[in-house]
Amino acid sequence: MIQVNHRNSFSRIITLCAAFLLIFSTSLFSQIDAASGDATAGEALFKSNCGACHKLYKKMTGPALYGVVEKYEEDYEWLGKWIRNSQELIATGDARANAIYEEYNQTQMNSFEGLSDVDISNILAYTNTPKPEPVVVKNTGGGGGEGGGVSNNIILAILGFILLLLVAVLFLVNNTLKKFAQAQGIEVAQEETSSRKPIWKAFVENQFLVLVSVILLLLGGAYFAYGWMSQVGVDQGYAPVQPIHYSHRIHAGENAIECKYCHSSARVSKHSGIPSLNICMNCHKSIGEVAGPEAGELSSVTEDYSKEFYDKEIQKLYKAVGWDEATQSYTGETQPVEWVRIHNLPDFAYFNHSQHVSVAGIECQKCHGPVEEMEIMYQYAPLTMGWCINCHRETNVKIEGNPYYEKIHEELSKKYGVEKLTAAQMGGLECGKCHY
């Protein structure tokens, strides 16, 4: 009877399986194929994994990734290893990996061991997306902040046409009446102009008419003089041109950036503050140009504010802070930006942002208007004394969770016989509250 050594057979099977798995595992990277990838799925993966350091068409912390498929077309296995764990590949002494590592100042790339072959194929398919041509959409007046109202020139033209029409109608009526009188045999009396006094002489000789006219002129002049003097220092609607164009509509509106992210001192200080350019660079270090309409990230590019316009403004920011896009570093050559102040109170008027923002919980739009819709920032409110007083008279004080006001509120509520107290009833109309 022949004895079969099952142990040796079993070990051979295990060895063959291990060899097969080893061969299969080493061939995983060769299955990465950009041509079979899904660019749409790859876009989401790119933004969540790669977008912090890479752009498609522009160098950032890492190299621009458009064209990487063509560059490594013959060596997807190496590319897959680099994407999954670049530091491990560098540690093996790989010449190409170390060259890239040194070129980018030994910046360490994150490890992406969790990405599958399909994920990498999708990302590579997205990086192969050609750069879209910039598109400019004509402003039809239906969106944005200007609205679709009738212009003043059209209104004046309509009024002028109506006036001419009335003159023509009166002329025709006059001629018709003359013809009718002649047909009835009625003689139209002609005034003798030789004996009639000039109108100015008749006016001067009529003392009552002169007195009434003088009184009306004095009252009218006083009214217009008071109106003009009341507007001194009132800059409602003031919208100066800034050295670097900043669109609140894009930042606060489309991108929903909170006002106090940039104007952080409004929470704790009298002034809201002008944001430092370093705050701008928190985002614009990575954002060197706006996305076109095809990318779906800028919904209202117009003829006046095209993609090229916004890109040039970002370049002004880079020049001001001394940022070199090519080397991704600061040159140290900075330039001051002379911003033009929009909201400006007189020196004798005191206003504390933190008191209104942090304590009262008032939204920025209450005073500054719909800033999220403003392409160009302008002064929304008149900021007059009367405007502030009316707000104090109409606004109830919020005492919930604020023990400072509880006892005062309780006593004053009894005095005024109300449940809710306004800022005016809490002393908000005292002169010393706003004036030194």
Both 123 and 207 in a single domain?
A: no
Number of folded domains in the chain?
3
Using the predicted structure, report yes or no on whether residue 18 has a pLDDT greater than 60: no
Mean pLDDT of 387-398: 91
Using the predicted structure, report yes or no on whether residue 390 has a pLDDT greater than 60: yes
CA contacts within 13 A on the Cβ side of 384: 12
Whether residue 19 is contained in a domain is answered as: no
What pLDDT score was predicted for residue 124?
83
What pLDDT score was predicted for residue 190?
59
Whether residue 299 is contained in a domain is answered as: no
Report residue 172 as tokens: 């025709």
Mean pLDDT of 220-249: 90
pLDDT-derived band at 388 (thresholds 50, 70, 90) equals very high
Using the predicted structure, report yes or no on whether residue 414 has a pLDDT greater than 90: no
What pLDDT score was predicted for residue 54?
82
Both 30 and 120 in a single domain?
A: yes
3-state secondary structure 308-358: HHHHHHHHHHHHHHCEECCCCEECCCCCCCCCCCCCCCCCCECCCHHHHHH
Tens of pLDDT, residues 198-215: 888 887 888 888 888 899
The CATH number for 99's domain is 1.10.760.10
Whether residue 145 is contained in a domain is answered as: no
Whether residue 395 is contained in a domain is answered as: yes
- Out of 3-12, 19-28, 87-96, 283-292, pick the least confident: 19-28
- Out of 28-42, 66-80, 299-313, 388-402, pick the least confident: 28-42
From 67, 99, 127, the end of a domain falls on 127
From 73, 95, 127, the end of a domain falls on 127
Whether residue 44 is contained in a domain is answered as: yes
**Residue burial 175-195, b: 16+ Cβ < 10 Å; e: rest:** eeeeeeeeeeeeeeeeeeeee
CA distance 175 to 93: 107
From 181, 216, 232, the end of a domain falls on 232
What pLDDT score was predicted for residue 21?
45
Whether residue 269 is contained in a domain is answered as: no
Tens of pLDDT, residues 107-132: 778 877 778 878 888 888 888 778 76
Whether residue 106 is contained in a domain is answered as: yes
CA distance 87 to 64: 20
What pLDDT score was predicted for residue 133?
63
Both 204 and 121 in a single domain?
A: no
Q: Give the domain range for residue 408.
A: 384-436
Mean pLDDT of 361-376: 93
Using the predicted structure, report yes or no on whether residue 146 has a pLDDT greater than 60: no
Tens of pLDDT, residues 69-106: 777 776 777 887 878 888 888 888 888 878 887 877 77
Whether residue 65 is contained in a domain is answered as: yes
